[in-house]
A and B are shown apart, each in its own frame.
Chain A
């Protein structure tokens, strides 16, 4: 099974600033995803991180607000830009080694915007 390390685990940020979240996997994986979990809610998929190319965003999420990088098969970053209190959520990285296999999740980054 893949082991995922997400950094930071939590942060408190001022509105208008940006935060970059890192996701490091201990093995090469084909698929990487970023999710958001707002307080008391289920998980919402933000985007698929594609190696060496632009991420594929889900409806309601845009690159200017959530730029994503994936330089290789073990690492990805998600930036939450120009933050507002509505961005306060847990952000989770997920990976899958191949299609039709289980997905693994990081422990998440708990972001509070004040």
Chain B
């Protein structure tokens, strides 16, 4: 049970911001939210993770709602190379065991 809900697919125009939503309404207090992506035929790549506060790194921003029931991954300026399946994952057992859901296929259009 992945315990997160994501739209199966999204489109985004190249150069625009891509906003990928994730619902995790049953998240518990000690569970982090992780985002990974998988570009075709490659192993998954870590993007970002957070617990309560919004986070930003060189790849993306993670916005977590105050009640922590949902989050949004933001790619500020999407490029064609950002076309991938994006996975939102809850992990709170301090084990780093990642239970993948079906993810969102983001297609960046020229």
Residues of A within 8 A of B (CB): 4, 31, 33, 35, 42-45, 48, 92, 94, 96, 99-108
Contacts and interface: CB of A to CB of B under 8 A. Distances in A.
Given A31-B95, A99-B94, A99-B95, A44 B100 contact: yes
A43 B100 contact: yes
Nearest to A95: B96
Nearest to A42: B100
Contacts of B49: 102
Nearest to B42: A107
Main secondary structure of the interface of A (DSSP, over half): strand
Contacts of B101: 42
Interface residues of B, number: 22
Main secondary structure of the interface of B (DSSP, over half): loop
Interface of B: 32, 34, 36, 38, 42-46, 49, 85, 87, 94-103
Contacts of B34: 102
A58 B36 CA distance: 21
Contact of A100 (B36, B45, B46, B94): B94
Interface centre among B85, B87, B94, B96 (most CB of A within 10 A): B96
B70 to A, nearest CB: 20
B102 A103 contact: no
A35 B95 CA distance: 15
Contacts of B94: 99-100
Contacts of B98: 33, 43, 45, 94, 103
Contacts of B103: 42
B45 A105 contact: yes
Contacts of B42: 107-108
A31 B34 CA distance: 17
Contacts of A4: 43
A85 B94 CA distance: 35
A101 to B, nearest CB: 7
